[in-house]
Amino acid sequence: MTTTSTTRLLVIGGGPGGYVAAIRAGQLGIQTTLVEAQALGGTCLNIGCIPSKALIHAAEHFDAATRQAGGAGHLGIRVDAPRIELDKTMAWKDGIVGKLTGGVGALLKKHGVRVLAGWAQVVDGKTVEVKLQDGGVERVACEHLLLATGSVPAELTALPFGDAVISSTQALALRAVPPRLVVVGAGYIGLELGIAYRKLGAEVTIVEAQDRVLPAYDAELTRPVARSLQKLGVRVLTATRVRGLGADGQGVLATDAAGQDSEIAMDATLVAVGRRPRSDGMGLETLPLQMQGRALKVDDQCRTSMRNVWAIGDLAGEPMLAHRAMAQGEMVAEIIAGKTRRFTPAAIPAVCFTDPEVVSAGLAPDDAKRAGLDIVSAAFPLAANGRSLTLDSADGFVRVVARADNHAIVGWQAVGRGVSELSAVFVHAIEMGERLEDVGATIHAHPTLGEAVQEAALRALGRALHV
């Protein structure tokens, strides 16, 4: 049976982009309906950011215990043969996911958002048919349509998903640690999960097509990560391409830059070669929407080429990050409510939760030079930061990039243990237009990693105190 309803704003997708848009719209008094086919929280809360960070945390603890038991013992801690019970780890992770997704449901309810559980099929720019999970169909007419359908893992023709070839979704729900894991792609997912499974005891081989890991970041920033991979015993094959599965299905065929073929034995292969916007299977192709590659083309207010049809988050292309989706969602709700807003952030921070962590906000030195800026840049080594040493970690640095003429900060990068939390001060400094002198003259608590931020600014001014 088909029922009908009307709403002012219809949001398709309950991920960080869609649910934040709906909450803000509710707060602003906009009548809002949100359709979600799977689970509120989307990729990020259910099969992305949150479960991956939980697994990384558990893996770090297990690795630390294993290293102490293995005789390192330099912290004076004695542990006898730790074991991992991955089922329990996954149950703990699922508990966190449950708390957060339950919280999203409660917030939507609190702000008066109507949630429909089902698959949305777009009929036209103002009508959507929802195949409800309980079997019915609801035709919803709306004034504004917000598309926030996210992204899905990119598949390799040579290694399609199935059996031992898995995506991040399966990798975050394994019931046992695979003895031999091949990871294709040394980007965010490949490195975050590859390192986690290595720490959980798997023999890990990472195959990357480019000539270094994390090729999207600058080379200097990723060097400590490459050193750590070596120390952890992760085998890294760069400039190598995968050609498919071996004859028995238990190996991955690869070819290196010199044309040498090899077969890498494996029990599971995680393919993490990027994600593509989810724009198919819901009737979007029937609308006159302009595309940019596989993403929906949007302007700086997230308007598509159709009036009152908006697109945000991964569906609207790179950078595919949860905080960018949320910021866009909040903005669109405000524009619909009549506020004047544009999506023109001075910087969108990016963090890779590897060991060590990598952070970047704004321009790296080479980006700034390419943009024609005359810059001053300096790095402060974490080996000279007391807090880093007390965290048993010394490899890494904090780097600042500023204009040479007025010292306005245009970029920050850092690599090291625990530096992900510095992303807040980095992006704040750039958005507020801080200068090197502002950061250099601010008292930072001791002993914290924040002191390395201040010291990087002082070093760029030629007066660092601790190096």
Concerning whether 446 is annotated as a catalytic residue, the answer is yes
Q: Compare residues 115 and 460 and give the one whose CB is closer to ligand FAD.
A: 115
Task: State the binding partner of 282 from ligand NAD, ligand FAD, none, CB within 5 to 8 A by kind.
Answer: ligand FAD
- Burial class from Cβ neighbours inside 10 Å (0-12, 13-18, 19+) for residue 205 reads buried
Tell me which residue of 391, 445, 441, 459 sits closest to 419, measured CA to CA: 391
Backbone φ/ψ region at 302: left (φ over 0), alpha (ψ -120 to 50), beta: left
Applying CB under 6 A, which of residues 145, 189, 206, 429 lies at the interface with ligand FAD?
Answer: 189
> Could you tell me the two tokens for 23?
């909450």
Using H for helix, E for strand and C for coil, what is the string for 4-42?
A: EEEEEEEEECCCHHHHHHHHHHHHCCCCEEEEECCCCCH
> Could you tell me the two tokens for 175?
């019931």
CB of 150 to ligand NAD, least distance (A): 11
Applying CB under 6 A, which of residues 108, 207, 245, 422 lies at the interface with ligand NAD?
Answer: 207
Binders of ligand NAD among residues 149 to 188 (CB under 6 A) are 156, 184-188
Binders of ligand FAD among residues 205 to 224 (CB under 6 A) are none
Tell me which residue of 33, 42, 38 sits closest to 14, measured CA to CA: 42
The verdict on 323 binding ligand FAD (CB under 6 A) reads yes
Binders of ligand FAD among residues 325 to 384 (CB under 6 A) are 325
Q: Compare residues 296 and 351 and give the one whose CB is closer to ligand NAD.
A: 351
Q: Compare residues 130 and 347 and give the one whose CB is closer to ligand NAD.
A: 347
- Using CA atoms, how far residue 96 sits from 61, 174, 333, in Å, is 17, 17, 28
385: three-class secondary structure by DSSP: coil
115's enclosing H/E stretch is strand 114-124
Task: State the binding partner of 5 from ligand NAD, ligand FAD, none, CB within 5 to 8 A by kind.
Answer: none
Binders of ligand NAD among residues 305 to 344 (CB under 6 A) are 319-321
As a whole number of angstroms, the distance between CA 25 and CA 19 comes to 10
DSSP 130-166: EEETTS-EEEEEEEEEEE---EEE--BTTB-SBTTEE
Backbone φ/ψ region at 196: left (φ over 0), alpha (ψ -120 to 50), beta: alpha
The verdict on 96 binding ligand FAD (CB under 6 A) reads no
Task: State the binding partner of 149 from ligand NAD, ligand FAD, none, CB within 5 to 8 A by kind.
Answer: ligand FAD
CB of 142 to ligand FAD, least distance (A): 14
The verdict on 170 binding ligand FAD (CB under 6 A) reads no
The verdict on 149 binding ligand FAD (CB under 6 A) reads yes
244: three-class secondary structure by DSSP: strand
Applying CB under 6 A, which of residues 9, 58, 97, 120 lies at the interface with ligand FAD?
Answer: 120
Cα maximum dimension of the chain? 74
Applying CB under 6 A, which of residues 24, 144, 198, 278 lies at the interface with ligand FAD?
Answer: 278
As a whole number of angstroms, the distance between CA 326 and CA 321 comes to 9
The verdict on 119 binding ligand FAD (CB under 6 A) reads yes
Binders of ligand FAD among residues 17 to 56 (CB under 6 A) are 17-18, 35-38, 42-44, 48-49, 52
The verdict on 275 binding ligand NAD (CB under 6 A) reads yes
> Could you tell me the two tokens for 264?
């890498």
Applying CB under 6 A, which of residues 34, 171, 225, 273 lies at the interface with ligand NAD?
Answer: 273
The verdict on 185 binding ligand FAD (CB under 6 A) reads no
CB of 412 to ligand NAD, least distance (A): 16
The verdict on 242 binding ligand NAD (CB under 6 A) reads yes
- Burial class from Cβ neighbours inside 10 Å (0-12, 13-18, 19+) for residue 48 reads buried
Strand 409-416 with 397-403, pairing: antiparallel
As a whole number of angstroms, the distance between CA 117 and CA 113 comes to 13
Q: Compare residues 264 and 352 and give the one whose CB is closer to ligand NAD.
A: 352
187: three-class secondary structure by DSSP: coil
The verdict on 195 binding ligand FAD (CB under 6 A) reads no
Task: State the binding partner of 17 from ligand NAD, ligand FAD, none, CB within 5 to 8 A by kind.
Answer: ligand FAD
Residues in touch with ligand FAD (CB under 6 A): 12-18, 35-38, 42-44, 48-49, 52, 119-120, 148-151, 168, 189, 278, 282, 313-315, 320-323, 325
Q: Hey, which residues are catalytic here?
A: 446
Residues in touch with ligand NAD (CB under 6 A): 156, 184-190, 192, 207-210, 215, 241-242, 272-275, 319-321, 351-353
